[in-house]
Amino acid sequence: AQTVTQSQPEMSVQEAETVTLSCTYDTSESNYYLFWYKQPPSRQMILVIRQEAYKQQNATENRFSVNFQKAAKSFSLKISDSQLGDTAMYFCAFNTDSNYQLIWGAGTKLIIKP
């Protein structure tokens, strides 16, 4: 079965600190795509960052970067210089070439404190 596990239900950090959200997944497919989505209280689901499994280089988008460990099936998200606007639910998800359906984790609630 394909699964995603986010082991941190909630995290809280001070503004400007760095925070890492963990995600592990399980699939037997060789080619897949990993995603982090952000859902602020406005409920809009926003794509934060993506990683193609065949790429060894970790993806980076401004203050957001991932640590992709393919052998360990780990895909953590690092947020540098956290801002109040980063407060949101963060969901890890993946799909594959053979199955477009996104498999979702349960989410991590991130609170940035001033």
Partner 1 sequence: SAVISQKPSRDICQRGTSLTIQCQVDSQVTMMFWYRQQPGQSLTLIATANQGSEATYESGFVIDKFPISRPNLTFSTLTVSNMSPEDSSIYLCSVEDPRTGVREQYFGPGTRLTVT
List of residues contacting partner 1 (CB under 8 A): 33, 35, 37, 42-47, 50, 52, 91, 95-97, 100-102, 104-107
Choice between 47 and 84, CB closer to partner 1:
47
Asked whether the beta carbons of 37 and 110 are under 8 A apart, the reply is: no
Number of neighbours of residue 89 by Cβ within 10 angstroms: 17
Number of neighbours of residue 33 by Cβ within 10 angstroms: 16
- CB 73 to partner 1: min, Å: 18
- CB 17 to partner 1: min, Å: 26
Number of neighbours of residue 46 by Cβ within 10 angstroms: 11
Asked whether the beta carbons of 74 and 22 are under 8 A apart, the reply is: yes
- CB 90 to partner 1: min, Å: 11
- CB 97 to partner 1: min, Å: 7
Choice between 87 and 95, CB closer to partner 1:
95
